[in-house]
Amino acid sequence: MTDAGKGKPIVLIHGWPLSDEMYEYQYNDLVKKNFRVIGITFRGFGKSDKLYGAYNYDAAVPIWTHREDCPYNLPIKSVDDLIKLNNKDRPKLLSNFAKIFSANETSLNEGIGNWLNGINLSASSHATAECLVALRDTDLRNDLPKITIPTLIMHGKKDKICSFDLAELMKAGISDSKLVAFENSGHSLFLEETLKFNTELIKFAEK
């Protein structure tokens, strides 16, 4: 967990299978702009306790796998294959994930890639698999209309993990929302277009 700075709080929640360390290049800018920035690491990931038992993932995109009325992203069988690979060769799973994390395989330099891989490896195998199960099975589309606070959606147009269609679904489903597209980014927009990401976040948080 990271807790730095003083002022209006911003809570940053990491994605699978990273930790709050993924926001290293957001923390300094937010602190300098007089925010208190709190980075939370879920149990099972990063330096948090590696507990066994059930895991859920109630902070993800509306839906991550195909349904009859939602033909975006991965079929359920593909996620099943990811879980099987995790249980057989987790480093290989993470290596494959890294190849599609950005707009292309050279969007992030080797040093950043190795840094991210180290964070991913620090997660437990159990948590990595259980969160894939939750991502595979969870459908939060009905929750979107319940969100009534101002919402900023930032999404890479070249995202291979969560297609841009999902950002548009969120925009349509959340009444008071704004969508900012990152034309040159994949899933790692916070690293590929760091300046734009930080600027848009700060501008929104200052309102």
Q: pLDDT tens for residues 10-47?
A: 999 999 999 999 999 999 999 999 999 999 999 999 99
- Give the closest residue to 142 by CA, choosing from 32, 67, 40: 67
Q: Which residue has the tokens 């916070």?
A: 190
pLDDT at 56: 78
Going along 55-205, which residue ranges are E strands? 151-156, 177-182
Answer whether 186's CB lies under 8 Å from 162's CB.
Answer: no
pLDDT at 207: 85
For the chain, the average pLDDT equals 94
pLDDT at 61: 74
* Half-sphere exposure in the Cβ direction for 124 (13 Å, CA): 17
Higher pLDDT: 59 or 39? It is 39
Q: What's the rounded Cα separation, in Å, for the pair 156 and 102?
A: 9
Residue 53: pLDDT above 90? no
Residue 98: pLDDT above 80? yes
pLDDT at 129: 95
pLDDT at 50: 87
pLDDT at 24: 97
Q: Tell me the pLDDT tens digit for each residue of 72-91.
A: 888 999 999 999 999 999 99
pLDDT at 60: 76
pLDDT at 181: 98
Q: Tell me the pLDDT tens digit for each residue of 127-145.
A: 999 999 999 999 999 999 9
Using pLDDT thresholds of 50, 70 and 90, give the confidence band for residue 52: confident
Q: What predicted TM-score, i.e. pTM, was given to this entire model?
A: 0.93
Using pLDDT thresholds of 50, 70 and 90, give the confidence band for residue 192: very high
Helix, strand, coil shares of the chain as percentages rounded to 5? 45, 15, 40
